Amino acid sequence: MHTTDPRVETYDVVVIGAGYSGLAMLHHLREIGLSTLVVDAADGVGGTWWANRYPGVRTDSEYDSYAFSFSTAVREEWVWTERYPRGEEIRAYLEFVADRLDLRRDIRLSTRVERAEHSDSTNLWTLTLADGSRLRSTYLVSATGLLSRPVLPAVPGLETFAGPAHHSARWPHEGVDLTDKRVGMIGVGASGIQMLPELAAQAAHVTVFQRTPNYVVESTSPPVTPEELASLRENYDAVFERAARHPFGVPMDFPAHSALEVDDDERRQVFESKWQAGGFHFAMECFTDLMTSPEASAYASEFIRGKIREVVADPRTAEALCPTTYTFMGKRPPTGHGYYDAFNRENVELVDVLASPITEVTPRGVVVDGVEHELDVLVLATGFDAMTGALTAIDVVGREGITLRERWERDGLLTYLGIGVHGFPNFFMSVGPQTPLSNLPVPVQRGAQWLQRALSFARENGVDQLEPTREAEDWWRAETERAGHATVMYAEGRKAGAWFVGGNVPGKREEMAVYLGGGHVYQDLCAEVEAEAYAGLRPDAGLPSAHVPAGETPQVA
Ligand code: NAP
């Protein structure tokens, strides 16, 4: 801790958030001798995994890559039990990481940051906490999560509901007794899809209010065998590296063929084999172009609709579950664990609210098309103000007194590599907006290691401020838009109201909030910045020469 002002605790770095990102940041920044404090509004570590306690919560990524690789002690001692670990297991993993790496002594829980303001005269950030006290730091790091600020449905009367009503990410930690209860669930994204089978197993009746159906790839979660765990421990670095070289941060095979260059039989065989592999294997391993070719995406969509019709016995329900208004990858594909089969249960009912939206929530239930569906418990699996929501909820004030929120409302979403923002010196984001859509522990770890080297560089070279230039931001926005438009995810995502284009929050600007050029490409770009002495983050240093081929201006497609 510095001693510049004895009345205000002053650190080299304050990190906001104690999930995967905050823990990795603390470990890596402490390694280079920076006094680092992590603060989190929650009363435990784990971030997303502290908050999300809904029934059925588990990873959609497999255990082998949903973890850090940087600590030999952690990788040797931690025991994974399931292919897709449950929320409780991930939380326990993060608590183990915090204990094993002795991180807790620099983590302050139940501490909410309301404002952080940079002063050019002192070159310090001043943070104001909810209790009115303050902290100071040279560097400010946000590790606030990209899907952490819940969105409630814009439905009149929501607050009048007489029974318990819980958002998926605010599910009570002590659980909710659903025995003999009539439960209504609004939302069929990854959260609702994981929840339904478990709600149905407990409750008397579940009514699912579905607006836009999803393309769900089913999977199973067998136990991790001792042999699998031993093999992972032996090959940890190689598994992590394989994930880091994959566009979406998963250690999976690259497909060899376009879906358009094989005949119907072969296409079906490939789809079937990867459907059997389950989860993200379907999206990642079938063909080279499910994400870039509308025709290939349409083939995948038809295959999944066929699966829905095979599994769901009632033809009307099956048809209502089949997405038709957008194609596969228009939403981030969720992994199901008996989702479609749950609709074969007598106590599960689907109410299609696409054509006839929910008009009202009353004290007794949910009204659709003039019919009141009576409920005891309301589940709101209605998603998040993704990528920017947690950042704009805090008043992060840069030069000229402008907040991040005001900056992005005024100028659109602008960041450099999702790491920093012009006008906000010495402010860094872990997996900020415009970073790759990815299995997250990979970019989280790589990002913390990149920042460790960047801050070492700054100290060793007397660089007082690292701050993206306007030119660098403009370049990254153009590259993010170009990469997004080159996929089907932009056009289909807009049709589907996907969170990665901001389409799920009424009034939010529709723009690419994630980078779809590939995690491996992104890592190479970050390496170029580093190789060129953090060009792009220093005034007058220009852009790294490798970013823009000579004579070419990046174009927004
Ligand atoms: P989401 O994918 O944004 O889904 C929200 C759902 O709420 C959508 O079905 C949406 O319908 C519905 N909705 C919102 N307002 C509504 C209204 N007024 N009436 C009817 N329906 C309404 O949110 P999520 O399921 O929480 O998932 C968000 C992201 O979090 C995922 O894509 C994933 O990246 C991450 N996640 C990951 C995991 C995991 O890896 N284990 C688990 C959960 C979440 P529309 O589609 O029509 O808008």
74 pLDDT higher than 70: yes
541 domain-assigned: no
236 pLDDT higher than 50: yes
**Among the atoms of ligand 1, which is closest to the Cα of residue 382?**
7
Site to probe by mutation for ligand 1, drawn from 211, 440, 442 as the one with most ligand atoms within 8 Å of Cβ, is 211
Reported in sequence order, the residue ranges of 415-464 that DSSP labels E, i.e. its strands, are: 427-429
379 domain-assigned: no
426 domain-assigned: yes
CA of 546 to the centre of ligand 1 (A): 38
Which CATH number fits the domain that encloses residue 50? 3.50.50.60
82 domain-assigned: yes
Q: Is the CB of 148 under 6 A from ligand 1?
A: no
pLDDT in tens, 259-311: 999 999 999 999 999 999 999 999 999 999 999 999 999 999 999 999 999 99
Task: Give the per-residue pLDDT at 542.
Answer: 84
DSSP string, 359-402: EEE-SSEEEETTEEEE-SEEEE---B-TTTHHHHTSEEE-GGG-
Task: Give the per-residue pLDDT at 2.
Answer: 43
Which residues share a beta bridge with 380? Answer: 167, 186
- Measured CA angle at 429 (ends 335, 426), to 5 deg: 175
Range of the domain at 447: 2-149+386-469
Q: Is the CB of 381 under 6 A from ligand 1?
A: yes
Task: Give the per-residue pLDDT at 549.
Answer: 53
Task: Give the per-residue pLDDT at 515.
Answer: 97
232 pLDDT higher than 70: yes
Q: Is the CB of 468 under 6 A from ligand 1?
A: no
Tell me how far apart the alpha carbons of residues 252 and 284 are, in angstroms, rounded to a whole number.
7
Which has the minimum average pLDDT: 58-72, 332-346, 538-552? 538-552
Is beta strand 124-129 parallel, antiparallel or unpaired with respect to 113-119? Answer: antiparallel
CB 222 within 8 A of CB 85: no
CA of 93 to the centre of ligand 1 (A): 25
**Among the atoms of ligand 1, which is closest to the Cα of residue 504?**
48
- Residue 193 — φ and ψ, nearest 5°? -65, -40
Q: Which of 530, 500, 533 is nearest to 515 (CA)?
A: 500
| CA-closest residue to ligand 1 atom 41 | 59
57: left (phi over 0), alpha (psi -120 to 50) or beta: beta
Residue with tokens 């992972």: 232
pLDDT in tens, 347-401: 999 999 998 999 999 999 999 999 999 999 999 999 999 999 999 999 999 998 9
pLDDT in tens, 3-16: 456 689 999 999 99
> Confidence band (pLDDT; 50, 70, 90) for 458?
very high
Task: Give the per-residue pLDDT at 5.
Answer: 63
Helix (H, G, I), strand (E, B) or coil at 297: helix
Which pTM does this prediction carry?
Answer: 0.96
Q: Is the CB of 494 under 6 A from ligand 1?
A: no
Mean pLDDT to the nearest integer, 231-241: 97
Residue with tokens 């900056």: 407
129 domain-assigned: yes
555 pLDDT higher than 80: no
> Which letter does DSSP use for residue 413 in this model?
S
Task: Give the per-residue pLDDT at 554.
Answer: 36
Q: Is the CB of 155 under 6 A from ligand 1?
A: yes
Tell me how far apart the alpha carbons of residues 290 and 283 are, in angstroms, rounded to a whole number.
7
* Tokens coding 306: 């066929």
**Percent of the chain residues past pLDDT 70, beyond the cut:** 97
413 pLDDT higher than 80: yes
What radius of gyration do the chain's Cα atoms show? Answer: 23
CB 37 within 8 A of CB 11: yes
> Confidence band (pLDDT; 50, 70, 90) for 551?
very low
Task: Give the per-residue pLDDT at 7.
Answer: 84
Q: Is the CB of 504 under 6 A from ligand 1?
A: yes
Q: Is the CB of 497 under 6 A from ligand 1?
A: yes
557 pLDDT higher than 70: no
CA of 489 to the centre of ligand 1 (A): 16
CB 289 within 8 A of CB 296: yes
Mean pLDDT to the nearest integer, 141-169: 97
Q: Is the CB of 187 under 6 A from ligand 1?
A: yes
531 domain-assigned: no
Tell me how far apart the alpha carbons of residues 140 and 524 are, in angstroms, rounded to a whole number.
24
pLDDT in tens, 488-507: 999 999 999 999 999 999 99
Q: How many structural domains are present in the chain?
A: 1
CB 101 within 8 A of CB 57: no
428 domain-assigned: yes
Reported in sequence order, the residue ranges of 235-345 that DSSP labels E, i.e. its strands, are: 335-336
User: What integer best gives the mean pLDDT of the chain?
Assistant: 96
